[in-house]
Amino acid sequence: DTEVTQTPKHLVMGMTNKKSLKCEQHMGHRAMYWYKQKAKKPPELMFVYSYEKLSINESVPSRFSPECPNSSLLNLHLHALQPEDSALYLCASSQDSRFGYEQYFGPGTRLTVT
C-alpha cells in the first residue's frame, strides 16, 4: 500500500483564520514532505521532515508552521494567510530522505484564502 491521505480535501479560510492541514501515512516511512502547487506549475518544496525532525525549510514564511507529532503524521498550521497562498498543498513521504527518489504523494488539500 502506497497511500498517503490528506485532510481536508478542500479548505476556504479568511485572512485572519487559523487552520491546519493534516497528512498521514502508514507505510513506515521516516521522511515526510510538504509541497505547494499553483495552477499549471510543478510542486514547490516547502518543508522536509526526517525522523520527525525538520531537515529542510525552503525559506517559507512563518505564517506556515509545520509539525510532525509522530512518524506517521504531518501537520501544516496556517495563520494570517494571504490570497496568493491559495494553492494545492501536497504531502509526500519516502522511506527516508535518502530515498527521496521514491516519494509518494497524497491527493492534496485545495486551499482558497479569501
Q: Which residues bind another protein (CB under 8 A)?
A: 4, 6, 31, 33, 40-43, 45, 48, 50, 55-56, 88, 90, 92, 94, 97-108, 110
Q: How far apart are CA 47 and CA 89, in angstroms?
A: 12
In the complex, what is the shortest distance from the CB of residue 24 to another protein, in angstroms, rounded to a whole number? 14
Q: Which of 86, 84, 109, 114 is nearest to 34 (CA)?
A: 109
Nearer to another protein, 2 or 82 (CB): 2
In the complex, what is the shortest distance from the CB of residue 80 to another protein, in angstroms, rounded to a whole number? 26
Polymer length in residues for the chain: 114
Q: Where are the alpha helices (DSSP H) in 1-114?
A: none
Nearer to another protein, 73 or 100 (CB): 100
In the complex, what is the shortest distance from the CB of residue 108 to another protein, in angstroms, rounded to a whole number? 5
Nearer to another protein, 45 or 80 (CB): 45
What order do you get walking across the sheet with 73-79 strand by strand? 4-7, 18-25, 73-79, 64-70
Nearer to another protein, 71 or 79 (CB): 71
The count of other CB atoms within 10 Å of the CB of residue 91 is 25
In the complex, what is the shortest distance from the CB of residue 106 to another protein, in angstroms, rounded to a whole number? 5
22: alpha, beta or left? (left if phi > 0; alpha if psi -120 to 50): beta
